[in-house]
Amino acid sequence: MTKVDVGGEIVSPPRRRLRVPPLLAWIAVAPFAIWAAARLTGADGAVPLGEVGVALMTGTPYVAAASLLAVLIALAARRATVIAVAVAASVLLAAVVLPRAAGSASTATGPSLRILTVNLLFGAGDATTVVDLVRRLHPDVLNTQELTPEAVEALDAAGVASLLPYRHLEDGPGPSGSGIYARHPLTEAPDFVPEGGHKMPRARLALPSGPPVEIVDVHTLAPLNGPHAARWTAELAALPAASPGVVRVLAGDFNASLDHAALRAVLGRGYADAADATGDGLTATWPANRRFPPLITIDHVLYDQRASAVSTSVHRVPGSDHRAFFAELRLPARL
């Protein structure tokens, strides 16, 4: 048999690389750039955005993740300017979101303060579950929001008084009531009761050792419409600042996330966020007990920056649309 050399060479067809039209790339990138600018400038509550901007801003962690797709689209457009804008927006969004998952070291050396806060959804949150959490977590303080008279009775029937014998309650119908339960003696302080808002009791807690501690049970109005959005901003602005002579802790349902300028302004008055400090800042607390997991983080423990956060966790409470939030703090040895 004779071999025949036909000569020539095999040529593969060139690979076609995806190329996105520049206009389409700009359409994909622009929303993320605008979002990053709004987040950095605190424009979420500004007119004309109002309550729409406030509501949208809670989605910043999800937008930060989605911004990576915009970077890929920009790269496919092969235009330096659109790539630069996409990368800058993604980096800026990551810079405000990712530190919440990192945490920071605990530095205070004083006594421990353990606090549990739960919104009971018109008093419907399961009292037995709440009291079981008290038994298991051993909080010094339990802050409750949407505490109705019926919820007070249910918590007493479940045994809360034997675990937390001291209380400063301002229960009320629907979402209006709140109350502080404590393991140690409480002295009532002038309450923060915004006109037309929910009750926000506060009290001085006498720990066996360490500096004096003031607890504020926070429940701001939800910024769901124009008037409520304005009141929500005003209520956050009216929360007491950290003070030299006391360690103040603000705990409850702020109806605000760390992506809201109004809440960051509260932090700027001498506070730190416990979940952010422990690396749990992206753990969502609302809406709970749905067919899907909670989406946003609006329940917080804010503490005087002279203290430290040791640990935090969230816990399911049947009947409530919030997860309970627990924080263990370390207080300063002295003021």
- What pLDDT digit, counting tens, does each position of 37-53 carry? 999 998 886 654 567 88
The 10s digit of each residue's pLDDT in 90-104 is: 999 999 999 999 988
Task: Check residue 224 and report its DSSP letter.
Answer: -
How much of the chain, in percent, has pLDDT values that exceed 90?
A: 79
Average pLDDT score over the chain: 92
**Is residue 1's pLDDT more than 60?**
no
What pLDDT, on the 0 to 100 scale, is given for residue 197? 85
Q: What is the pLDDT of residue 285?
A: 98
Instruction: Tell me the pLDDT tens digit for each residue of 140-187.
Output: 999 999 999 999 999 999 999 999 999 999 999 999 999 999 999 999
Helix (H, G, I), strand (E, B) or coil at 252: strand
Predicted pLDDT at 85: 98
The yes or no reply on domain 112-330 and CATH 1.10.3720.10 is: no
Averaged over 207-227, what is the pLDDT? 90
CB 143 within 8 A of CB 117: yes
In the structure, what pLDDT confidence band is assigned to residue 58 with cuts at 50, 70 and 90? very high
Of 55-59, 70-74, 164-168, minimum mean pLDDT range = 55-59
DSSP character at residue 73: H
pLDDT band at 13 (very low <50, low <70, confident <90, very high): low
Tokens of 264: 């960051």
pLDDT at residue 16, rounded to an integer? 59
- pTM here is 0.91
d(CA 163, CA 155): 11
- Parse the chain into domains and list their residue ranges: 22-101, 112-330
DSSP 3-state assignment of 174? coil
Give the position of tokens 């749990």.
280
Q: Is residue 270 over pLDDT 80?
A: yes
For residues 248-275, give the mean pLDDT.
Answer: 97
Q: Name the least confident of 46-55, 118-127, 206-215.
A: 46-55
DSSP H stretches of helix in the chain: 22-41, 50-57, 60-77, 80-97, 127-137, 149-158, 160-163, 226-238, 261-267, 274-278
The C-alpha atoms of residue 291 and residue 74 are separated, in whole angstroms, by: 36
pLDDT tier at 334 (50, 70, 90 boundaries)? confident
Mention every residue, 6+ apart, whose C-beta is less than 8 A from residue 322: 118, 119, 121, 125, 253, 285, 286, 287, 288, 298, 299
Cα–Cα distance for residue pair 257/62, rounded to 1 Å? 13
Indicate the DSSP class of residue 204. Answer: E
Q: Does position 27 have pLDDT exceeding 80, yes or no? A: yes
